[in-house]
Structure 1
Amino acid sequence: MFELKNVRVDGILQIEQLTIPENQFTCILGPSGSGKSTLLRLLNDLSSPDEGEISFKNKPVSEIDPLQLRRNVVMVSQAPVIFDGSIEDNLQIGLSFSGKEEAEIPEMESILKLFMLDKNLSDEAEHLSGGEKQRLSWARAMLLDPEVFLLDEPTSALDEDTASTVLTRFYDYTKKNSKTVIMITHSKELAELVAENTIDMSQYSIEGGVRRWMM
């Protein structure tokens, strides 16, 4: 799905070659400051490397319209973006930005259930807890039905049981619908639960102050 060759971001990471497979659940593990979030931003064309090439489905990311790329590759950040209005408003707004038709009520209610959000669509989003806002942002991304999900610590605000349940349900959805997932997590337990491919940053050597790994 993605291939990186001779990619360098000064002072953060250097990748000689990295291939991220299609239709698999890839987990990225590693200490803070090891370039995990930088990697996701590169894949979403939110940041550009100082050197090297990143390809998406064998086409250089630099040659793909950023808006078109982000319709196919959707990022869910660790700090969720929540808009003014109701839960329904927050679910629909992503579809609106992408030029897609509005979701039907049963579909939105079903996705809330999947993410263990026992709320009404009319409830105000600003009154949700941090963990609930995180799941709402994740649910909004899922409604967009992208090819690729980029998840930056999507369960960081959840207790262990809720995180395991939600992640297992999401994993089942991705397998059923042939999705590609690239997820940052600090939890080795969650990675063991869902990962089909793992990038362990703690195994990467440091050369000349630049973090380096090879696959």
Structure 2
Amino acid sequence: MNIIECDKVAFVKNGNTILQNVSFVVGEGDIVGITGPSGSGKSSLLRLVNLLQSPTKGNIFYKGKNILDYNPMLLRREIGYVLQKPYIFAGTVYENLAYSYTVRNLQPDKAEMLAFMDKVNLTPDFLDKKRNEMSGGEQQRVAFVRSLLVKPEVLLLDEITAALDEANTKILGNFIRQQTETKNITIIFITHNIEQLRRLAQNVICIKDGQIDFQGTAQKYFSSREQ
């Protein structure tokens, strides 16, 4: 079943065309890698899917329904979004992760928090840390865990391993794949890391100058690069 569909989407900002005629579908449980040059419109596309911006033309559908017909806050519970420069709330990591339960009207589950943190190589003492006590890579992993704890159906990831070393990049990639296999979460991630794209993506969308330059399986994408 297709969970996300973009139909001839265009986005214009301040008179500049950022995206034009973008069409693709993402199946439930897919891992889709988005790549392409800097400034080509990749991050703007994720913001459109998360309803942080609205398309200038065309339509985006989630589960067959136009996303403009959803309540934005309710939509974002189902479509999580982790930024390249993560926003960590004031307070401790525990308070950040507890927010994920608050939005679902649940009591925080410390054991679950610790289990998720362990999967991304964060030790229990991080629960007491504050934003200014963590590196950029540590903040990225906290933001990733916070989004996962909301239990989204789709997770949008914008260069979230950019501040990580290769070992932690692989750890995070393995956890992402595990989430799709065990919980059927659909992942759409932006990366400039070709090796990460090769390891993680099932399908690839390459965007250049605001338009789709390639879309298809990762195997076809890498075969085309080798020709």
Structures share a fold, TM > 0.5? yes
Aligned to 2:180: 174
- Deviation at 1:160? 1.0
Q: Distance in 2 between matches of 1:104 and 1:4?
A: 36
Q: Which moved more, 1:84-93 or 1:183-192?
A: 84-93
Aligned to 2:222: none
Q: Distance in 2 between matches of 1:163 and 1:102?
A: 31
Q: Distance in 2 between matches of 1:5 and 1:109?
A: 40
Kept in 2, the 8 Å contact 1:4–1:15? The answer is no
**Letter aligned with residue 167 of structure 1:** G
Is 1:198 aligned to residue 209 of structure 2? no
Structure 2 residues without counterparts, runs of 5 or longer: 216-227
Is 1:71 aligned to residue 70 of structure 2? no
Q: Distance in 2 between matches of 1:212 and 1:170?
A: 27
Q: Distance in 2 between matches of 1:118 and 1:87?
A: 12
- Deviation at 1:161? 1.4
Aligned to 2:118: 113
- Deviation at 1:212? 2.1
**Letter aligned with residue 69 of structure 2:** E
Aligned to 2:220: none
- SS of residue paired to 2:113: helix
- Count residues in correspondence: 207
- Deviation at 1:9? 1.1
Is 1:9 aligned to residue 11 of structure 2? yes
- Deviation at 1:95? 2.5
Q: Distance in 2 between matches of 1:108 and 1:212?
A: 39
Change (3 A) 1:99 1:169: closer
Is 1:25 aligned to residue 31 of structure 2? yes
Q: What are the residue-to-residue correspondences of 1:1-215 with 2, within 5 Å?
A: 1-10=3-12, 11-96=17-102, 98-120=103-125, 121-202=127-208, 211-213=210-212
- Deviation at 1:16? 4.8
Deviation readout 1:4-54 (Å, 9 max, x if unpaired): 112111211112521122111111011111110010011011111111111
Change (3 A) 1:16 1:34: closer
Q: Distance in 1 between matches of 2:86 and 2:148?
A: 14
Higher relative CO (Cα under 8 Å, sequence separation at least 6) belongs to 1
Q: Distance in 2 between matches of 1:24 and 1:103?
A: 29
Structure 1 residues without counterparts, runs of 5 or longer: none
Q: Distance in 1 between matches of 2:58 and 2:202?
A: 27
Deviation readout 1:162-202 (Å, 9 max, x if unpaired): 10112112211221111100000110100111111111225
- Deviation at 1:93? 1.7
Change (3 A) 1:125 1:17: closer
- SS of residue paired to 2:129: coil
Q: Distance in 1 between matches of 2:73 and 2:114?
A: 28
